[in-house]
Structure 1
Amino acid sequence: MVDPWFAVQELGSKTFAISEYGHWEKVHSFLLIGEIQAALIDTGLGIVPIKRITDQLTELPIIVLTTHVHADHIGGHGDYDTIYVHGDDADWLIHGIKGLSLEQIRKDMARDITIPVPKSFDPDTYKPYQGYPDKLLSDGDTIDLGNRSLGIYHTPGHSPGHISILDHETGYLFTGDLLYSDTPVYAFYPSTSPEDLVNSLEKIASIQKVSKIYGGHNQLGLEPKIFCEILTAIQYLRENNLVRHGTGVHTFQSFSVHF
């Protein structure tokens, strides 16, 4: 599929990454298609409507699974009828994102864009999606797509209601902004929790039968062997009293964190 803004890559049978490489955040959303419905994990920046891509990939009803409520992951939520979010991020979805000013969000949306954007995008008037979710997710929930089930893991730290999603059929683990490579995973804003983030990293490192890890930014796809590195990093961070705000960037071989 050729599109001037989105890059679409098939990751496996009925599984697609929808990426926005023309923006400095290099955001990924993911479409997982079952037999009775499809799940869209996040909806991107909202600079260009992601629905124009999902409409070409499936005619099934789509539920949106929100890994967390930050502007770069909820940009297209308004184009879909069914929105799921963890209960601890629901207030942010309804009333606005805490810890990030609208001025900062607009600045982040507008900077370092390397390909043309539509005339309809104006960073000076950009507003993150706000609305009421159709379902509140909890740790341990299962989403049935029809011969394809997704497991929900509550993995707070980057936001209170951040979730990771395991596709039981493929072993793909979608980690949102809990884990990705190339740039630091951040938990330095007042609305974040370094301790929760580290606990969440430890939690996903114990998940069995993960075949691939797909974060919300940068490199598309990490190998599960990174879990061993994560556990070693966690031990180092805890033993050196670094799991707290203000300790800065901590860089390891395959990933980094910013507290």
Structure 2
Amino acid sequence: MIEDQWFTVQSIDETTFAISEYGHWEKVHSFLLLGRDRAALIDTGLGIGNIRSITDRLTDLPIDVLTTHVHTDHIGSHGEFERIFVHEGDQDWLVHGIKGLSLEQIRRDIGRDISKPVPEGFDPRSYSPFQGKPAGLLKDGDSVELGGRTLTVYHTPGHSPGHLAFYDQMNGYLFTGDLLYNGTPIYAFYPSTSPVDLVQSLERIAGIGGVRKIFGSHNLLGLEPEILGEVQHAVQMLRENDLIKFGTGIHTFNGFSIQF
């Protein structure tokens, strides 16, 4: 559909697109959702390539950027868009920088294990993550209206204080950011994370009805809804065994793992 050196564009349906960065070890996905009046872009990727060059080819609708959380691999092209939204729990990180991560560490992470040619001009040695003020804040229970399509906002802290998930009830699509994905561990082992909050957030999304597909921000594109049953099992097991705290390591379940 769209040929690009860095990004892979996959159509989920006629109005929903995954924009993926498979050439980087984090295998990041961002998502463009089209309504009648507006579009929503869930995250803007690593910033190795300019995601705006892709969204401009997919739609001429005005775009609202919905930030799942303020980590480098989710805000890379935020500077290309005027209307950025974030939860207040991550607002300070967006404005002043990500807590607990040095620029040197960010540059090491952005530049390692790259398996595809990078766009001209990208140099990890001079990479700097986006900083700036959002156009507005999102809170739990908010509705994002796109025109004939509504997204419900869920505050799902744990991986970061202001982490958000978005539910497209009409299509049954649940966009979980870094709260739920497969392949590599979901993590809450940094001082800026909260194992207790992460488990509570997992329990909450497992109770959402009508989910037909889960779209996490890394690795395999699209998880089946049956994984939410395994999430409920994981929450119970972790609680019963007093494992929801820093230092208990990696806990593996059917389809995903969690690291505290």
Under a length normalisation based on structure 1, what TM-score does the superposition of the two structures give?
A: 0.99
User: Which residue identity is paired with 1:12?
Assistant: D
Q: Residue 12 of structure 1: CA displacement?
A: 1.1
Q: Residue 246 of structure 1: CA displacement?
A: 0.6
Q: Which residue of 2 aligns with 1:24?
A: 25
User: Which residue identity is paired with 2:83?
Assistant: T
User: Are 2:123 and 1:122 equivalent residues in the alignment?
Assistant: yes
> How do 1:170-189 and structure 2 match up within 5 A?
170-189=171-190
Under a length normalisation based on structure 2, what TM-score does the superposition of the two structures give?
A: 0.99
CA deviations on 1:129-169 (whole Å, 9 max, x unpaired) are 00000010000000000000000000000000000000122
Q: Residue 118 of structure 1: CA displacement?
A: 2.4
**Which ranges in structure 2 are unaligned for 5 or more consecutive residues?**
none
Q: Which residue of 1 aligns with 2:195?
A: 194
Q: Which residue of 2 aligns with 1:95?
A: 96
**Counterparts of 2:235 and 2:145 in 1: how far apart (Å)?**
33
Q: Percent identity?
A: 65
Q: Secondary structure at the match of 2:17?
A: strand
User: Which residue identity is paired with 1:168?
Assistant: Q
> How do 1:223-242 and structure 2 match up within 5 A?
223-242=224-243
**Counterparts of 1:188 and 1:32 in 2: how far apart (Å)?**
32
Q: Which residue of 2 aligns with 1:56?
A: 57
**Counterparts of 2:14 and 2:214 in 1: how far apart (Å)?**
16
Q: Which residue of 2 aligns with 1:12?
A: 13
User: Which residue identity is paired with 2:116?
Assistant: I
CA deviations on 1:35-73 (whole Å, 9 max, x unpaired) are 111000000000000000000000000000000000000
Q: Secondary structure at the match of 1:238?
A: helix
Q: Residue 127 of structure 1: CA displacement?
A: 0.8
User: Which residue identity is paired with 1:21?
Assistant: Y
Q: Which residue of 2 aligns with 1:156?
A: 157
**Counterparts of 1:211 and 1:185 in 2: how far apart (Å)?**
21
Q: Residue 119 of structure 1: CA displacement?
A: 3.3
User: Are 2:80 and 1:76 equivalent residues in the alignment?
Assistant: no
User: Are 2:36 and 1:35 equivalent residues in the alignment?
Assistant: yes
Q: Secondary structure at the match of 1:78?
A: helix
8 Å Cα contact 2:16/2:32 also seen in 1: yes
User: Which residue identity is paired with 1:162?
Assistant: H
8 Å Cα contact 2:31/2:43 also seen in 1: yes
Q: Which residue of 2 aligns with 1:218?
A: 219
8 Å Cα contact 2:5/2:119 also seen in 1: no
Q: Secondary structure at the match of 2:114?
A: coil
CA deviations on 1:97-137 (whole Å, 9 max, x unpaired) are 01222111111100000011123111111111000000100
Q: Residue 13 of structure 1: CA displacement?
A: 2.4
User: Which residue identity is paired with 2:166?
Assistant: I
**Counterparts of 2:87 and 2:38 in 1: how far apart (Å)?**
20
**Counterparts of 2:170 and 2:54 in 1: how far apart (Å)?**
23
- Runs ≥4 residues deviating over 6 A: none
The more displaced of 99-108 and 25-34 is: 99-108
- How many residues matched? 259
8 Å Cα contact 2:39/2:146 also seen in 1: yes
